[in-house]
Amino acid sequence: MRFDVITIFPEIFKSYLEEGLIARAQRKKLLEIRIHNLRRWTTDAHRTVDDRPFGGGRGMVMKIEPIYKAVGDLKRKNGKSKIVIFTPRGERFNQKIATEFSKLGQLILICGRYEGVDERVAKYIADKKISIGSYVLMGGELAALVVVETVARLVPGVIGKSELLKKRITKKKGFLEYPQYTRPEIFSPKKGVAWRVPKILLSGDHKKIEAWREKHSKIVE
């Protein structure tokens, strides 16, 4: 699967994409993640990507022209692709949307900055307006990373535990997440205090363990 991220701060992504499973998945060619500097699609000497808002008001607004050109160049002609713009006014991102995205061949992610992006981008260029939560960030870059990571782990082979993933997804409507423990069985932060792992998880009884996990699961929808 290919991700194309359009941003005015491409350096933000560098170290993140060079670490862990995301880096490994790129090496294995399961993911192709390209970060594009929007200024590449400007034509003036100052490489301007923003302008003052019509109607007045504070701050600057990102212009439509460079974004239009960038998307035109990046969108693959064949295969399924979707264009996403990030805004706090968008649809709340969740596991269901991530699953839909993971079935695409390409996802183009447009990161806003300043006071936002000319609304015509959302209206005429983007397929989906996405928010990652009810708060206002300074830019769409963190939102893009959240989407890349959530979608990437659903791409077959990326986390290397597709069976586990499948089981957790299909068990119930939504996505099953339960508490996990590892060694030591008893942790003593100070004398007389013992923080224990639930006994059932040490029993080796897989049926009971499964039932315990179901009981303590939270369904993430």
Q: Which amino acid is at 112?
A: G
Q: Is 10 in the site for ligand SAM (CB under 6 A)?
A: no
Q: Is 164 in the site for ligand SAM (CB under 6 A)?
A: no
Q: Is 86 in the site for ligand SAM (CB under 6 A)?
A: yes
Dist. CA 84–CA 5, nearest whole Å:
10
Dist. CA 6–CA 34, nearest whole Å:
9
- Least Cα distance to 3 among 39, 37, 34, 25 occurs for 34
Tokens 């363990």 correspond to 209
CB-CB contact of 36 with 6 (8 Å) = yes
Closer residue to ligand SAM in complex, CB, 93/175: 93
Among 20, 133, 184, 198, binds ligand SAM (CB under 6 A): 133
Phi, psi of 95 (to 5 degrees): -60, -35
Q: Which amino acid is at 59?
A: G
For ligand SAM (CB under 6 A), the number of binding residues is 20
Which secondary-structure segment (H or E) carries 221?
Answer: none
Closer residue to ligand SAM in complex, CB, 35/158: 35
- The mark string for 134-153 relative to ligand SAM (x by CB under 6 A, - otherwise) is -xxxxxx--x----------
Closer residue to ligand SAM in complex, CB, 23/60: 60
Q: Is 7 in the site for ligand SAM (CB under 6 A)?
A: no
Q: Which residues bind ligand SAM (CB under 6 A)?
A: 86-89, 111-113, 115-117, 131-133, 135-140, 143
